[in-house]
Structure 1
């Protein structure tokens, strides 16, 4: 692993990397490089980093704690607590990404205790829906943020306070924090993006606004913190949940049924590797990416963070090396007529134009910001506003396409996220749906 990490980081402009593995009572931590190219601070086992969307598993855990207390019910309408939201959305839909909320790039810039209330206040007015609640599956940042606000209303406490008191403390996440103001007191990594001169450039934005806290915008901690949280779920909920609630999180409750997306329990993405089920979530932050994976049958918890987006592929390679068997893409017969897939598809602030070119699909993705504030935050998160070049996709099965030139015999790790599938009037890329508009 150490050799793999070193070679990948040096070749792919990843300044620093930290990994933690727990298995069978033994914990191993590996580190490489620097946490910040500007300061030269080393990446160590005590370096904090943004959890990103790994926080969604914590948000889900918090909701299920309230379900156990009887404060919330999985099958009650969210609008009973948050008037103004679509009445068909149930609490369950927020946790298994079936709410249909179209807000993946919605970034209200608000801070402080009222941030989530401001997000939910603006959501119905500024964002639409991709499908009726429960009809399809689309990875939803907006759904998890609404779940965070639901927790605040149901308990009368702020989301950061709930996270610290009901997750960090009982799980033993001793060095985790809920804000940059806390994290700055300890060594903390910052993100980077590839530089045109071959030298990584540091991000100009450390974290997303407080409005994104429950989806992964603000929580920060170390590999030891995430290993402690993962072990709680390894141990049937440990000090956080009942065994029944932990089992519900790892039981399939939504599945789009295509190889480019994993089935979803409650919060967790569920991937099958032979006879092994892996509970996982990756977490992007401005110029960085974290991962948490739990394999109960192997008594295994895997945590890693790299301070450049391209580290996602390294996460996958290292994790797959710990698993006994990995699925591969199976190419099957497909329709020769590709015209039904052509058209224009939209989701929050993105337009995708699809046309048939020489037996393949050519897609052009265009970012159309709603306002200057949205553009500033998204481009800071992505490392700048850059044109998305047209991409060519070849058919590999009914409604399933792979990037032209992608080796099709690769294990379905990172490759899974590169595939595109079509489901009636919807296009699915990276687990996120866009809807055909013409």
Structure 2
């Protein structure tokens, strides 16, 4: 191992130990592949109920990192001539419909994997298991979920789009999504410890998520290991290790060729996934490729996707121009802070990439009135008002039924609402949560910023928080 990577390993180990102890993170595992060499560092406990240690080969839920795997599967079928990115989804999936008549007919295959489809289903959690789970999900959309915008008009992080893409894959290949994932991604990439079910994962060491106790802040295990099978293609069910994610990242680093030399995806499709497909031109929503989110860090671009699971968070980053892949998992939601810290250290110290300040100074002269109002999306209401010269947001979860309320409540660790959050203006249409140091937003946590879009008659039509749109009611 070269000295630079050995130094990085030691520094990452120090960062993990310090952060986990100070912030009640039970366990954390991270890996870096750079210029042909690789290190994996594990720390702490995989499950506080059993005391099982977090090991370098401990498995964990990929969460939404799965979306890049799903997109890769879609592009494989494009390579094989079974799918056309610019064809309507209903060409292949005639039973795909939404509550608005004809709305689904205008959604193209490309829109599903570029988060530009407008499907308003981000909190839609139908509870179904087995081979027909994705069929059940798509069937339920017709009577449950509408649209936020016309396809291609805006960008909004879309779980629903990826799940529809998963069902589309089942129809054109004749295989279940899980079987397709195992055959076309896990096997050729060399993801030897990856699986698609809790039944498989329990046969080897697997971490569980944790949530902070409201009173003591000590970590307690989640009551739900994974989301229903209906959420598989969006990140509900796939499980694997850091080494497996590094192997997948290396495949995209190498133009679609796996570490073992197997061609997984054409060079053209691999490049297409990495190109900008939509750019909202706002700092809190990085340009979107196909599957990948393109985070600009000065002159460097980080292809990334993070993944929340019940009480855990994963991250996969690929830096093509620096021949580096970074993957990590922490088994409490706050571990994303540590992932951001390590990513920024790798960029600035290990690679020598200057990270410019994203937010310099708040702007006190911004007129706040265009942003006041009520914004809604599937089962979510956001009330925006002006309090003491700042914007104040109140988020309210509005469950559609008892089953979805149960699933979402468990996924969120019992917390479905928080206190009102104040925001200070950065510039017209862009706001930062009050009380945070401005350097917080230079890295991955730029997602904490909130933006407003499409002003009409002096009022914003959309709010974007965490990459997700809500529409003015």
Instruction: For residue 407 of structure 1, report the CA deviation from its aligned partner.
Output: 1.5
Instruction: For residue 333 of structure 1, report the CA deviation from its aligned partner.
Output: 5.2
Residue number in structure 2 paired with 1:208? 227
Matches of 1:124 and 1:327, distance apart in 2 = 45
Q: For 1:282, what is the secondary structure of its paired residue? A: strand
Please identify, of 132-141 and 323-332, the stretch whose mean Cα deviation from structure 2 is larger. 323-332
Gaps of 5+ in 2: 1-11, 98-103, 258-262, 348-352, 455-460
Matches of 2:230 and 2:387, distance apart in 1 = 41
Residue number in structure 2 paired with 1:327? 356
2:80 matched to 1:59?
no
Instruction: From 107, 115, 127, give the equivalent of 2:125.
Output: 107
2:304 matched to 1:280?
yes
Instruction: For residue 153 of structure 1, report the CA deviation from its aligned partner.
Output: 0.7
Residue number in structure 1 paired with 2:442? 412
Matches of 1:335 and 1:133, distance apart in 2 = 35
Residue number in structure 1 paired with 2:247? 228
Matches of 2:54 and 2:366, distance apart in 1 = 51
Matches of 2:364 and 2:264, distance apart in 1 = 46
Matches of 1:340 and 1:294, distance apart in 2 = 38
Contact 1:329 1:410 in 2 (8 A): no
Gaps of 5+ in 1: none
Instruction: For residue 185 of structure 1, report the CA deviation from its aligned partner.
Output: 0.4
2:391 matched to 1:355?
no
Contact 2:163 2:233 in 1 (8 A): yes
TM-score by length of 1: 0.98
Instruction: For residue 63 of structure 1, report the CA deviation from its aligned partner.
Output: 0.3
Q: For 1:102, what is the secondary structure of its paired residue? A: coil
User: After the TM superposition, which parts of structure 1 deviate over 3 Å for at least 4 consecutive aligned residues?
Assistant: 330-336
Contact 1:115 1:210 in 2 (8 A): yes
Contact 2:376 2:472 in 1 (8 A): yes
Contact 2:366 2:428 in 1 (8 A): no
**Which whole-Å deviations, capped at 9, do the CAs of 1:181-217 have from their partners, x for residues lacking one?**
1111000000000112232100000000000000000
Matches of 2:14 and 2:203, distance apart in 1 = 32
Aligned 1:22-421 pairs, distance under 5 A: 22-83=33-94, 84-85=96-97, 86-195=104-213, 196-238=215-257, 239-323=263-347, 324-330=353-359, 331=361, 336-410=366-440, 412-421=442-451
Matches of 1:249 and 1:231, distance apart in 2 = 14
Instruction: For residue 335 of structure 1, report the CA deviation from its aligned partner.
Output: 5.4
Count of residue pairs brought into register by the alignment: 437
**Which whole-Å deviations, capped at 9, do the CAs of 1:368-399 have from their partners, x for residues lacking one?**
10000000000110000443211111101110
Contact 1:38 1:202 in 2 (8 A): yes
Contact 2:182 2:195 in 1 (8 A): yes
Instruction: For residue 301 of structure 1, report the CA deviation from its aligned partner.
Output: 0.6
Q: For 2:93, what is the secondary structure of its paired residue? A: coil
Matches of 2:224 and 2:440, distance apart in 1 = 34
Instruction: For residue 275 of structure 1, report the CA deviation from its aligned partner.
Output: 2.2
Contact 1:252 1:263 in 2 (8 A): yes
Instruction: For residue 325 of structure 1, report the CA deviation from its aligned partner.
Output: 2.3
2:38 matched to 1:16?
no
Distance 1:346 1:91, change over 3 A: same
* RMSD between superposed Cα atoms in Å: 1.2
